[in-house]
Each structure stands twice: as structure tokens, then as C-alpha cells.
Amino acid sequence: MNTKFIFITGGVVSSLGKGLGSAALGALLQARGYKVRLCKLDPYLNVDPGTMSPFQHGEVFVTDDGAETDLDLGHYERFTGNPACKSDNTTTGRIYTNVLQRERRGDYLGATVQVIPHVTNEIKDFIREKDGSADFVLCEIGGTVGDIESLPFIEALRQFGNEMGRERALFIHVTLLPYIPAAGELKTKPTQHSVKELMGMGIRPRILLCRADREIDKSDLQKIALFCNIEENKVIPALDASSIYEVPLTYHAVGLDTQVLDAFGIKDAPKPNLEEWERIMRRIKNPEGEVTIAIVGKYTNLNDSYKSLNEALCHGGIANKVKVNIKFIEATLFDESAEDIAEELHGVNGIIVPGGFGERGAEGKIKAAQYAREKKVPYFGICFGLQMAVLEAARHLASITDANSSEFGNEGSPLIGLMTEWTKDNVTEKRTDDTDLGGTMRLGAFPAHLKKGSKVAEMYKENKISERHRHRFEVNINYKDELEKVGFVMSGTSPDGTLPEICERNDHPWFIGVQYHPELKSKPFDPHPLFISFIEAAIAQGRLV
Ligand code: GLN
């Protein structure tokens, strides 16, 4: 396979939607029948985003093979349906770790180890190993051109582009045309400067994707083409879309995929089949109703912290033909008072307590679970949300008043305990209290067996599932009988029966907690069964109130 490489850089400002743009272009090429693969280079020094705060960096996306990666990999997976994997994401931290390990091993045979060629070679190897794995490899470079930290990446790509030639390597630069109200116009100068900066580093982009919040005049596009030395029809306007799932359609309408193929000299490409995307957009634009779901979490002031969850809810809405409104509730505000959270939750059609870490906010989340249980509002506990629902049931129904999680210290009854041992791919992994924080959780896809006749088995329509995990603590199986006595049924466990993976209430319309992250596998054209069912229950709840 003569793989072609597309590199996507960003200029002017960050948050231009490079990740989405890359995912949408991937989807368009795929819709033409090509095999695509998407990957991302992140210039920061963290070895992976696993230890980064969701406040700063948004969600950590977990792959089947257990990597903690950048949330853009979630977009890639949702738009193409191809499961992301460990080798789809690297960082400066990872690259340097590899280089330094090699240096210690003596692999460089006494050479002075330098950014060029050793670091740049390591980066090129990361890209080159994808050669042959797809028709098109799309590689996004995080950050903004000109950042000090991304320089080795840009240099490596320059070399790689040179080695491959124009037939096999293409650079797309995403920029912004800011609107200046006083002048009443969009400005092209930052784009010109950004392209100049890229050219100064030896990279000539052949396609420009110009983000703007309004229509761009043809004369502006022509001006950019002239100043930036780019063909006129390859300066492409990329306006804001009404939904992220509209982006493949809007980018196709302005010719992005056509120009990419043209840049590679491909003349006989099949037409794209965009029916699925059109169907999804018809559903999104014409909902037959709406529901409101509360997300009671701790990282509620940054939307990206719960990216996959927001999207999975949207997918559940697509499947049920409703619009899903999300009401974020900051759990930490309610650690003290139960009345206030009841006020906040009043009238919502469903409650989610999502993944989370640490004691702050835990009491607020426990109160949200209690409210959902008592008021019979659909409740979906995801990872930490399951753990908090277990503490709630243990304290209030099973009379284990000191029920606690060892995540919060060693006091009380450890209903939620530290996992010290589990099996992954037939290897036993062991952890203790002193283990490093990075990359040491129970990570990635694990199988679970569902109880016959349980609600979840009905939703999944099978008894054996595989879902992605990211946690250190686990519901303590020793309390199984006490929990089941008060209606909290363990309806899914690890195949050996030792790790509870799913609990559901048998006296409630919809009360399910899962130890894994189902939101990571949901896709617009293949919504996750638990989210389909949860939104269905929320609709039914809406009819009651
Ligand atoms: N903090 C909890 C644990 O480590 C839950 C993690 C999560 O919600 N992803 O088990």
C-alpha cells in the first residue's frame, strides 16, 4: 500500500478545531472507500495526558490497548469508527523518554545525542511505522506553529515531507481569520504571518483551512492565495458548523476532500457516500422532543472535561430522536447540603455522576445518587459514579453507616477498595499504595460477563461484553450479599467473578452503575446501548413529570 501522509498544523491561535477538522477529513476520505488512520503528535513534556488535570487539558481518552491519550483521538474514533490505539498518539515527553532510554542502553554507540538527528529520527519513526497501514495517514500536530516546544516536530515533518515528496506528503495549515468589529471585516494578516512562519521552517502548506465566524469574501481568499503562494481553490473557508457532526458535510461542500485528492494528483477517486452523515444531521436538526440530563461532576467549568460523555448523550438522543440538554452541576458546592442539590436536580429527566477522582465533591455526588434513587429519576453512574452510588446504598439502606472508599483514606468500612491485583492478557498486574501515578491504573479494554435476565444483558443483547476501564479502586466483592439484600444487584462481573463491573437496582426504573467508561465507545452512527436505553428512560421520566 502506497500510504499518503497528510500533516495538519495550526496557526494564529489554539482551539481552532484542528482535531475535529482532521477527524472530518478522515471521515470524508473513508466515505470515498479509502482506508484511513489518524494520529496525533503532542508537543508537551508529559509522557502522556494521563496525569494531566481535566481542568487544563480536558478528558483523557482511553484506548482498548490501555493508553491514556489526547481527547482528539476520541474525535478520530467517533468520526471514523476505527478504534484508536496506543501508537496513534505520542508526546515530546514520550519521544525524549525513548531517546534517553536508548542513550542509557548505549544504542547510539558513543555519539553526541542531539535534537537533530536523534529526536527528529524518533519522531519520524513514529510516523514511518504507520506506512502501509492505510491509504491515508492523517497526522495532527498539537499546539500552534511557532511554539518553542513544537519545533522538533515541525523539523521532523519537514525532513519527512522532503523524503516522501509531494506525491506522498501534504501539509494542511488551519488558521483563523478574526473579525474586527470596528473595521467591519475579517483580517487575513495573521494567516499570512502564520504561513510565513511555517515557510521559514521549510514547510510549504499546499492547503489552507481558514476558520472564520462568518462568510469569507472571495477577494479575501484570493488575497491569501496570492500572498501565501497557494492555489486559489486550495484556500478553503471553514465556517463554524451547527453541530460537530455537520463538519464532514460542510467541509465536503467547500471542497476539502476534493482538493486533498487533487494535491496528491488522484484523478479517479470514487465519490463519497455521505448518507450516514446526512441521516445523522437530519436527526439532530429535527428532534421530536427534548430531555435534560444533569451531570453532577467536579470539572464542570470546562466542557472538554466530559467530551466523550457529552457526545455519547448526543448519540443517545440521535437514536431516540430527541435533543439532549445537559445541565452541569458542580458537586463540590453540595458536599454539605442535601436540600440545595435537590433544588438543582428538580425537574431533570436523568442524572449522571461521571468518572472522577478524590474526596472533594464525593458527598455531593452521593447526595445526587440518593436523590435519584428516592425520586426514581434515571441514574447512570460511571466509574466513580458507580462507586458513589454503592456508598449511598450501603450507608442508607444496608446500615453500614461508615461505608467509605479507600481512595479517601483508611477509615470506615472499605466498600470501595484499592485493587491490588488483576489480570490483563493473561498477565497478573500488581499495585500497591506507593506505585507511581502515571499509567498505573487498570487501563483499557477488559471483558465482563453479564447476569442472564439482568437489565443490562437486555440492553447489550449479549452476555459477554468488553469495555474500557480507567480506575484504581473497585467495589469490594465481599459486600456482595449485603448490597444485594437492599436491591443493589451485581449484574456484571469480571469473567472470574471477583471484580464487580456493573450494579443495577431492581426496584427502580433505571438505576445502573458501571465500573468502566461506556461513553468512550459510543459513535454517532453506532450509539452505545446503555446511552440509548438511558435516554429512552429519561424520555419516559419526562412524560411522568
Ligand atoms: N477514582 C476512582 C478510581 O480510581 C474512579 C475513577 C474514574 O471514575 N475513572 O477507581
Residue pLDDT tens, the chain, 545 long = 789 999 999 988 877 889 999 999 999 999 999 999 999 999 989 888 777 776 777 889 999 999 999 899 999 999 999 999 999 999 999 999 999 999 999 999 989 999 999 999 999 999 999 999 999 999 999 989 988 999 999 999 999 999 999 999 999 999 999 999 998 999 999 999 999 999 999 999 999 999 999 999 999 999 999 999 999 999 999 998 989 999 999 999 999 999 999 999 999 999 999 999 999 999 999 999 999 999 999 876 677 889 999 999 999 999 999 999 999 999 988 887 766 899 999 999 999 999 999 999 999 999 999 999 999 999 999 999 999 999 999 999 999 999 999 999 888 888 998 877 767 777 777 777 767 666 678 899 999 999 999 999 999 999 999 999 999 999 999 999 999 999 999 999 999 898 999 999 989 999 999 999 999 999 999 999 999 999 999 999 877 55
- If asked whether residues 215 and 111 sit together in one domain, one would say yes
- If asked whether residues 174 and 311 sit together in one domain, one would say no
Task: Find out whether the beta carbon of 354 lies less than 6 Å from any atom of ligand 1.
Answer: no
> What angle, rounded to 10 degrees, do the helices at 92-105 and 120-128 form?
110
- Distance from Cα 397 to the centre of ligand 1, integer Å: 23
Q: Which of 473, 474, 475 to mutate to test the pocket of ligand 1 (most atoms within 8 A of CB)?
A: 473
Task: Find out whether the beta carbon of 472 lies less than 6 Å from any atom of ligand 1.
Answer: yes
- If asked whether residues 125 and 74 sit together in one domain, one would say yes
- Distance from Cα 370 to the centre of ligand 1, integer Å: 19
Residue 434 lies in a domain: no
Final residue belonging to a domain, choices 230, 255, 280: 280
Backbone angle region of 202, left / alpha / beta, with phi > 0 → left and psi within -120 to 50 → alpha = left
d(CA 49, CA 541): 38
Strand, helix or coil for residue 423:
strand
- If asked whether residues 266 and 294 sit together in one domain, one would say no
- If asked whether residues 176 and 236 sit together in one domain, one would say yes
Residues of the domain holding 261: 4-280
Residue 536 lies in a domain: yes
Q: Which of 384, 419, 475 to mutate to test the pocket of ligand 1 (most atoms within 8 A of CB)?
A: 384
Q: Which of 472, 499, 519, 520 to mutate to test the pocket of ligand 1 (most atoms within 8 A of CB)?
A: 472
d(CA 61, CA 84): 9
d(CA 501, CA 208): 47
Q: Could you tell me the CATH number of the domain that includes residue 351?
A: 3.40.50.880
* Known catalytic residue at 383: yes
- Distance from Cα 81 to the centre of ligand 1, integer Å: 26
d(CA 287, CA 323): 6
Total-model pTM: 0.92
d(CA 222, CA 236): 10
- If asked whether residues 224 and 122 sit together in one domain, one would say yes
Residue 460 lies in a domain: no
**Which atom of ligand 1 is closest in space to residue 441's alpha carbon?**
4
- If asked whether residues 41 and 141 sit together in one domain, one would say yes
Final residue belonging to a domain, choices 223, 257, 280: 280
Q: Tell me which residue of 356, 422, 423, 424 sits closest to 391, measured CA to CA.
A: 356
Residue 439 lies in a domain: no
Final residue belonging to a domain, choices 244, 263, 280: 280
Residue 466 lies in a domain: no
The secondary structure of residue 523, as a DSSP letter, is: B
Q: Which of 383, 471, 482, 503 is catalytic?
A: 383
Number of domains observed in the structure of the chain = 2
Task: Find out whether the beta carbon of 504 lies less than 6 Å from any atom of ligand 1.
Answer: no
348: β partners: none
- If asked whether residues 22 and 152 sit together in one domain, one would say yes
- If asked whether residues 527 and 385 sit together in one domain, one would say yes
What are the DSSP calls for 185-211, one per residue? EE--HHHHHHHHHHHHTT---SEEEEE
pLDDT at residue 418, rounded to an integer: 85
Q: Could you tell me the CATH number of the domain that includes residue 254?
A: 3.40.50.300
- If asked whether residues 406 and 297 sit together in one domain, one would say yes
Q: How distant, in Å, are the alpha carbons of 20, 181, 194, 204 from that of 201? A: 25, 33, 11, 9
Residue 462 lies in a domain: no
Burial class (CB in 10 A: 0-12, 13-18, 19+), 355: buried
pLDDT at residue 51, rounded to an integer: 75
- If asked whether residues 246 and 185 sit together in one domain, one would say yes
Task: Find out whether the beta carbon of 356 lies less than 6 Å from any atom of ligand 1.
Answer: yes
pLDDT at residue 393, rounded to an integer: 94
Residue 527 lies in a domain: yes
Residue 461 lies in a domain: no
- If asked whether residues 234 and 298 sit together in one domain, one would say no
Task: Find out whether the beta carbon of 442 lies less than 6 Å from any atom of ligand 1.
Answer: no
pLDDT at residue 338, rounded to an integer: 67
pLDDT at residue 473, rounded to an integer: 93
